[in-house]
Amino acid sequence: MKSASAKSSSPPTGVLGAGSLRILGVDTALRTTGFGIVDACGNTFSPVDCGVVKTTRSQPLSECLRRLAGGMRELAKTYAPDVVAIEGAFYCKNVRTSMVLGSARGAVIATLAEMGIPIYEYAPRRVKQSVCGFGNASKQQVALLVSQILKVAVGNLPDDATDALALAICHAQALATSGGLSVPDPL
């Protein structure tokens, strides 16, 4: 994907069609956190960049969280997103897994909030419904629709990156629906 070098000179208003809005989508996890950056202007979505922030199993939790926070800080400084769309917490039977995922989400949310970037949370089913029209869509279906919407090849992208792009698209579409009435309150 190509990287946009300049941001729109008009300030974002939070409603599509009134100017360009840069959205950072984040699919959090401890080992592989996906990110996707999309510029939205009206009904036009342009991919800016996407990828993953990775940590290794050999690193302690505190180092993973530090690296995750640092990666988010660097993305925010490099791309200057107007808003962030993050995947909401979901039910998990394993308490330890829930705690680790909550820690990763907390590191991302705290870092981006510290930078003054508004953060919006979307349930995984809502993202899938927004992008695919079906709340139980598979990761492959999400990737296919993201590919079509953004006109990019996603075959070599990690699922976490395409999920993050889907989060950004979901937020842009929520802004466009009923003048933004379907946008959740910021975290």
Question: Rounded to an integer, what distance in angstroms lies between the CA atom of residue 165 and that of residue 36?
Answer: 4
The pLDDT value given to residue 6:
31
Catalytic positions:
27, 87, 160
**Residue carrying the six token digits 């300030």:** 11
Q: Please report the pLDDT score of residue 7 as a whole number.
A: 35
Structural domains in the chain? 21-180 (3.30.420.10)
d(CA 36, CA 22): 10
What stretches in the chain show pLDDT beneath 70?
Answer: 1-18, 90-91, 178
Does the pTM exceed 0.95?
no
* pLDDT the model gives residue 178: 66
Q: Count of alpha carbons within 13 Å of 157, Cβ hemisphere only?
A: 27
Alpha-carbon torsion 128, 129, 132, 134, what sign?
positive
